[in-house]
Structure 1
Amino acid sequence: MMKRWVRKTLVLLFTIVTFGLVSPPDILLADENTSGPSSQESTSTVAIFSDPYHDESNFIETFIAKAEKQSFEKFGNRIGPVIEDEFKSIIFPKMEEVIRHFLKVEKENFEHVMISSKPSGGKSEKIFHIYDEKTGNDLIRFHVRVDHPPQEGYWFNFHYHTYHDHFQTHYHLGKIYWDRNTPPNWMTH
């Protein structure tokens, strides 16, 4: 098996060369102590806080870019173009602020922070989750829910949950009005 320092160096170089937009090959990410794939969904490596040569600002920018990409993947081609401007001007800056704060504050508690690789479609709320790679436990969950208050039409309610209270509290990010007609399912193309 490849020496640990060689593997870490190759992962770091791969991440730098691809600006973190492409995940390193699985052989570089495989842990010597595990023989099979992990039960966690497929992801791309985003952060290794313990690496002293890791540029934190590039890491955060890469993380933010992945969060935005995940969001528009969730919206699909039918919802995305309709709410894009409001999302970018109202909701995403708040998401970005939460992510930046969370990553700076929590870096002491978690060495390997990842972002889930695929939002959920249909009627499910998940946009993306940020989790600890070592334990597989979610740390923060970004969701969007479709609300339909009586006689008000449909609204997209953006919010997040954190591990601090076992994901019980909805931390409001904002709402975007859709229409009086029922919106299509998430990830509809």
Structure 2
Amino acid sequence: MRSWARKSLFVLISVLTFGLVTPTQLLNAVNAEGPAERDVLEVPSSKSGFTQVHEYREESEFDREEFVREMITSAKLQSYQKFGSKIKPVIENEFRDVILPKIEMAIAETAALFPENDLKNLAITEFPGAGVSEKIFHIKNRLTGKDILRFHVRRDNPPQAGYWFNFHYHTYHDEFQAHHDLGSIYWDKNTPPNWMS
């Protein structure tokens, strides 16, 4: 474990255990057990005779599935934020049943392409586009600032067919040129309100 991470862990354990475990005791417990992927430290409980078990992970551990779940949760929240209070109630169910699973699949497939070190640097943009903007959210590399995926929704108005919301995404593989279709949701014959309204 790196020295700064070890020091941070010592402070964290000391604070969480109200000083019952000192850094020296923690270091002795870790060294006595030898290197392991997951170390367990037993701490006497101040309220009862039972023992509390605190687990901590090595810095190198990274849960790819947990990362993908967090990205999907953020994607869902960004989408609902974009829809706003006027559009969300009308399309929410169909979006959840038809479009969201395809967004989840696209995120999972993209995450599988990246090595762990690069995957740690991916993040979802913080704000969807308002008004008539197509942007729902982008997934970008925090270090380079470059987009990896761009998830958009476009308003389509085919002749005499009413308004549709076309969900699609673009990838950096083709410099965001191709539309990868996620599906369309019918709105109405009337013009939809602006996003986030």
What range is the shorter-chain TM-score in? 0.7 to 0.9
Question: Where do 1:108-123 residues align within 5 Å?
Answer: 110-111=118-119, 112-123=121-132
Instruction: Find the residue that maps to 1:110 and give its secondary structure.
Output: helix
Say whether 1:89 aligns with 2:97: yes
Counterpart-to-counterpart distance in 2, 1:76 and 1:116: 17
Q: 1:123 to 1:4 in 2, by over 3 A?
A: farther
Partner of 2:73: 65
Counterpart-to-counterpart distance in 2, 1:132 and 1:153: 38
In the TM superposition, residue 108 of structure 1 has moved relative to its aligned partner by 5.6
Q: 1:52 to 1:175 in 2, by over 3 A?
A: same
Letter paired with 1:93: P
Deviation per CA, 1:88-125: give whole Å up to 9, x if none. Answer: 00000000000011011123682411110110100000
RMSD (Å), alpha carbons: 2.1
Greater strand proportion: 2
Counterpart-to-counterpart distance in 1, 2:98 and 2:62: 31
Q: 1:62 to 1:109 in 2, by over 3 A?
A: closer
Q: Name which structure has the greater RCO, CA cutoff 8 Å, separation 6+.
A: 1
Q: 1:139 to 1:77 in 2, by over 3 A?
A: same
Partner of 2:42: none
The counterpart of 1:178, out of the listed 184, 187, 190, is: 187
Q: 1:109 to 1:57 in 2, by over 3 A?
A: closer
Task: Give the % identical residues.
Answer: 53
Instruction: Find the residue that maps to 2:118 and give its secondary structure.
Output: coil
Say whether 1:105 aligns with 2:113: yes
Partner of 1:156: 165
Letter paired with 1:102: T
Question: Where do 1:137-148 residues align within 5 Å?
Answer: 137-148=146-157
In the TM superposition, residue 68 of structure 1 has moved relative to its aligned partner by 0.3
Counterpart-to-counterpart distance in 2, 1:119 and 1:179: 23
Counterpart-to-counterpart distance in 2, 1:174 and 1:107: 29
Instruction: Find the residue that maps to 1:79 and give its secondary structure.
Output: helix
Question: Where do 1:15-34 residues align within 5 Å?
Answer: none
- Structure 2, unaligned stretches of length 5 or more? 13-58
| TM-score (norm. length: structure 1) | 0.72
Say whether 1:75 aligns with 2:83: yes
**Number of positions where the alignment pairs a residue of Structure 1 with one of Structure 2:** 146
Q: Is the 8 A contact 2:131 2:195 kept in 1?
A: yes
Larger radius of gyration: 2
